[in-house]
């Protein structure tokens, strides 16, 4: 997966006419780290991939192998381990569904691109999630929708929890043909 992510990252950066230095500046990820990722010399944590995809104005799934593809592996963050299950378009949204495990340490997430929202549904366990000024506690079967473009956090309570995370991205604007 390391090489696939790196190849996708470099392709997206070049397509946008962005230098390594500019991507590093916009994402807050070191230039050396971006270079190592692009060249398959290191793997990235979930937080790093979110920072890079946000700087590239792209959904996280654009950096990942297709759901079910060989080489698809879970992404690891501070408290969240997630795997992309599916992606699809609906109306004016691009949707990505992730199955995730949330540990009892706290996962802080900076805001993603403008207009991104998230819905989390607890499969098993208990979690505290949401925007920093509106955290909620959820148990199995409960869901919460919040603005993913604002800082938010995840943490399991009383042991690890299994969740379904739905990322909702505004569909990219299309330019009409002349």
CATH code at 118?
2.60.120.10
Comparing CA positions, the residue from 156, 63, 50, 58 lying closest to residue 103 is: 156
- The whole domain housing 90 covers 75-170
| DSSP H or E segment with residue 55 | helix 46-55
Domain assignment of residue 106, yes or no: yes
One domain for residues 52 and 93: no
Query: Residue 16 is part of a domain; what is its CATH number?
Result: 1.10.260.40
Give the list of residues 6+ apart from residue 25 with CB closer than 8 angstroms, or none. Answer: none
One domain for residues 152 and 124: yes
What confidence tens digit (pLDDT) does each residue in 116-166 have?
999 999 999 999 999 999 999 999 999 999 999 999 999 999 999 999 999
Question: What's the pTM?
Answer: 0.88
Alpha helices in 16-130 (DSSP H): 20-27, 31-38, 46-55
One domain for residues 126 and 158: yes
């Amino acid at each position: 997966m390391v090489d696939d992510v790196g190849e996708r990252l470099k392709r997206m950066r070049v397509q946008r006419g962005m230098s390594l230095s500019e991507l590093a500046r916009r994402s807050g990820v070191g230039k050396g780290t971006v270079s190592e990722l692009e060249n398959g010399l290191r793997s990235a944590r979930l937080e790093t991939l979110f920072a890079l995809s946000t700087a590239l104005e792209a959904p996280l799934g654009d950096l990942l192998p297709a759901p079910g593809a060989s080489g698809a592996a879970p992404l690891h963050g501070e408290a969240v381990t997630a795997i992309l299950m599916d992606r699809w378009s609906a109306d004016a949204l691009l949707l990505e569904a992730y199955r995730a495990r949330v540990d009892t340490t706290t996962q802080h997430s900076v805001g993603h691109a403008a207009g991104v929202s998230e819905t989390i549904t607890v499969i098993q366990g208990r979690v505290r999630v949401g925007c920093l000024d509106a955290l909620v506690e959820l148990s199995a079967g409960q869901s919460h929708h919040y603005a993913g473009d604002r800082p938010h956090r995840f943490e399991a309570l009383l042991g690890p929890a299994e969740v379904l995370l739905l990322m909702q991205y505004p569909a990219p604007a299309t330019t009409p043909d002349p």
